[in-house]
Structure 1
Amino acid sequence: MGRLSIDAGYMLDRLAALLEIPSPAGYTDMVVRECTAELQRLGAQVELTRRGAIRAFTPGKTSKGARAIIAHVDTLGAQVKALKDNGRLELVPIGHWSARFAEGARCTIFTEKGAWRGTILPLKASGHTFNEEVDTAPIGWPHAELRVDALTRSRADCERLGFAVGDIVAIDPQPEFLDNGYVVSRHLDDKAGVAAMFGALEAILREKAELPVDTFWLFSIAEEVGVGASSLLTRDVASLVAIDNGTAAPGQASDEFGVTIAMADQTGPFDYHLTRKLIRLCRDHDIRYQQDVFRYYRSDSASAIEAGEDVRTALITFGVDASHGYERTNVHALRSLAELVTAYLTSPVEITRDAESVSGIEGFTTQPMQEARAAHEPVVPRPHRA
């Protein structure tokens, strides 16, 4: 069938709704409820793990050798490390992100007694008091604190209002959707990827597209802390394609337009055959793409492999500027991602042997080994070897 038409307006509406729901890793119940409700509205079959990871399902012609698409609904955030004598809160990060991007952020602190608003500030925040020390102060989580928007001038004041070590802190996304297609917000990683998944699923269901094998739509809840897809796959899944952000930065090939196909991350190369199939689909269906390698990056697919899942994995991304900071992408990348997902899921299964977890050598794949040469070069016979 090829790539399907993506409803970009629907996809951006999904992104806006997701960004409104705080969901740092460890505090994802409400975003799981939102995603589940939308999946059910679309008509997908949905089930949840004990902790709330989502496994939605659309049937294909056969169940064996199933395909899975995954993105994560959890985001970066912070957690209260200590109640300070000055009435402010010491923090540690949830996920790996720099305190440089936390300074000045508005946020919500979730306590057992209710939610409070606040601002993350450097320890020396007033230029009128500290003069140039504001610019020379070190950067890091020990050098930042959370000022609560309440009368808290001591540790006792914090305790009286219900603040406690371990309280979850959600960072405001501050999203902007611009007329030229740019989307600027915190937490595009990976709520923009989730929105692209919804865009692809909506197109497949709307067009009643025929799928060659069963497809699972997976939404993990702890990717930012390394857990990801480690407990989401069924035994029938043969291939897993993760959707996440690609780092559009100096020295990287990722872009805020088109699909960025990751060839490797810090855990090593992605599956040779699945990755190159995705590249071919981009070429065949005129989907803009680029290839990249990420050195300081891992995704849901890495957690699945590390958990012992013997599945082919790939990673397709939307390019993001200032990843894990105040991020930016373009709707062109999200639409291209969703188009590639539809092209992939409606494409024929090429490695039929993958329907079984273990089998013989018959049907096993090959990788090119012959020496490359230019088209005009003659073929020179090579000597036989005993």
Structure 2
Amino acid sequence: MISIDNDYLQSTLLNLLDIPSPTGYTDRIVHFVGKELESMGIPFELTRRGAIRATLKGRQPMLDRAIVVHLDTIGAMVRELKPNGRLGIVMIGHWPARFAEGARVTIFTDNRSFRGTIQPLKASGHVYNEEVDTQPVNWDNLEVRIDEKVYNRDDLEALGFNVGDIIAVDSSPEVTDSGFIKARHLDNKAGVACQLATIKAITDAGITLPVTCHPLFTISEEEGTGASSILHGNVAAMVAIDNSTVAPGQNSREDTVIIAMRDQGAIYDYHLTHRLIQLCEDNSIPYVRDVFRHYRSDAASALSAGNDIRTGLICFGLDASHGHERTHRDSLEAVSNLLCAYLQSTPRITHDRNKLGPLEGFPLLNVGRED
């Protein structure tokens, strides 16, 4: 098994976390990833809106693979310029208002950026006493306090604020001596770092893959469209890389790779999923399986768009997804190792080279059956 450059993985992750990229404001991170691919000599193309499709050329045609991550994150948008000189907001992506309270943010107007903080409407106990604890927790109960001398709507308009301005939440990363990485937006910048580290490992080792692989980087997963329009026509199988949910009632861990069996948007392909499991076992990669009830990935958006492909989902373990997130570098290494093993493996279902084909060669599940 080729080795992952863990220093590169971690430094790339920290660089990605430093780039604001809420859905709808992803141009800068697209340029960053594009330059990383250029530095490794990897050819790629951009869609009109900026999703990236790269190519790692393989020996065999017509059984192309894709591995996909998303560059966009959760965030917020201005919905109201308020009479008190503050901003009413709505969420970008889906995340709880309780994790927005106290977040430090950057607001991007048409001409410049401003700093601010998301505050509950009743933020001071010295003024509101117990009401600071009893007020409802929802997005209508939040506002952005801007770090400028603004006291009314006219002041906001004079500085150039508008409804629709995008708001990025600070990532505030921290790496502990015990190997934990804490930050907002590990979903899915940790996945992006794993994908780039995998590409670097394969390129540095001079490996020619058995089939062509297209690393994909999407820009609208948090709003639900993700990989709906970026797949190459020859792609037969796609593995998405994203976060898992570590919580009671879930089987995920923060120090392994997690192989998803299903989520609310997809039941993942039996053959591809079990191939990933076998690769973990053959290469001593620590893994667990899990099922996600309130979760949707790039793979689901690709299937919803009508793509007839086998899909799988592998994850790094993540505590408090879409909140104050935490993972462990062991999990990121395990994800990268599995990606390397998968891309070097030879496809077993040659029937998949056909968009439409005969019964002959189509796999037959026969586990546990007595004939």
Once the two structures are superposed, residues 65-112 of structure 1 have per-residue CA deviations (whole angstroms, 9 ceiling, x without a partner) of 100000000000000000001000000000000110000000000001
SS at match of 2:78: strand
Once the two structures are superposed, residues 361-385 of structure 1 have per-residue CA deviations (whole angstroms, 9 ceiling, x without a partner) of 110011125348xxxxxxxxx8xxx
TM superposition shift of 1:16: 0.6
The runs of at least 4 aligned residues of structure 1 exceeding 2 Å deviation read: 368-372
Inter-partner Cα distance in structure 2 for 1:72 and 1:268: 17
| 1:104 matched residue in structure 2 | 102
| 2:36 matched residue in structure 1 | 38
Letter in 1 for 2:65: R
Once the two structures are superposed, residues 263-294 of structure 1 have per-residue CA deviations (whole angstroms, 9 ceiling, x without a partner) of 00002310000000000000000000000000
| 2:210 matched residue in structure 1 | 212
1:333 equivalent among 320, 331, 334: 331
Once the two structures are superposed, residues 117-149 of structure 1 have per-residue CA deviations (whole angstroms, 9 ceiling, x without a partner) of 000000000010111111111000000100000
Larger radius of gyration: 1
Q: Number of aligned pairs?
A: 371
Q: Within 5 Å, which residues of 2 pair with 1:62-73?
A: 62-73=60-71
Once the two structures are superposed, residues 310-331 of structure 1 have per-residue CA deviations (whole angstroms, 9 ceiling, x without a partner) of 0000000001000000100000
Question: Residue 245 in 1 paired to residue 243 in 2?
Answer: yes
Q: Within 5 Å, which residues of 2 pair with 1:124-135?
A: 124-135=122-133
| 1:261 matched residue in structure 2 | 259
TM superposition shift of 1:210: 2.4
Inter-partner Cα distance in structure 2 for 1:62 and 1:348: 10
Q: Within 5 Å, which residues of 2 pair with 1:41-52?
A: 41-52=39-50
1:295 equivalent among 278, 293, 296: 293
SS at match of 1:234: coil
Q: 201-210 or 307-316, which moves further after superposition? A: 201-210
Letter in 1 for 2:352: D
Letter in 2 for 1:66: D
1:162 equivalent among 134, 141, 160: 160
Once the two structures are superposed, residues 16-46 of structure 1 have per-residue CA deviations (whole angstroms, 9 ceiling, x without a partner) of 1101100000000000000000001011111
Q: Within 5 Å, which residues of 2 pair with 1:143-222?
A: 143-222=141-220
Inter-partner Cα distance in structure 1 for 2:90 and 2:127: 26
Letter in 2 for 1:324: H
| 1:319 matched residue in structure 2 | 317
SS at match of 1:345: helix
| 2:23 matched residue in structure 1 | 25
Letter in 1 for 2:44: V
Query: Is residue 78–residue 88 contact of structure 2 (8 Å, CA) maintained in 1?
Result: yes
Q: 57-66 or 86-95, which moves further after superposition? A: 57-66
Q: TM-score scaled by structure 2? A: 0.99
Inter-partner Cα distance in structure 2 for 1:99 and 1:307: 30
| 2:83 matched residue in structure 1 | 85
Inter-partner Cα distance in structure 1 for 2:232 and 2:345: 21
| 2:12 matched residue in structure 1 | 14
Query: Is residue 265–residue 297 contact of structure 2 (8 Å, CA) maintained in 1?
Result: no
SS at match of 2:288: strand
Q: Within 5 Å, which residues of 2 pair with 1:273-284?
A: 273-284=271-282
TM superposition shift of 1:113: 2.2
Inter-partner Cα distance in structure 1 for 2:200 and 2:167: 33
SS at match of 2:101: coil
SS at match of 2:317: strand
1:343 equivalent among 341, 344, 367: 341
Inter-partner Cα distance in structure 1 for 2:367 and 2:345: 26
Query: Is residue 72–residue 219 contact of structure 2 (8 Å, CA) maintained in 1?
Result: yes
Q: State the superposition RMSD in angstroms.
A: 1.0
| 1:136 matched residue in structure 2 | 134
Letter in 2 for 1:293: V
- Structure 2, gaps ≥5 residues long: none
Inter-partner Cα distance in structure 2 for 1:84 and 1:312: 49
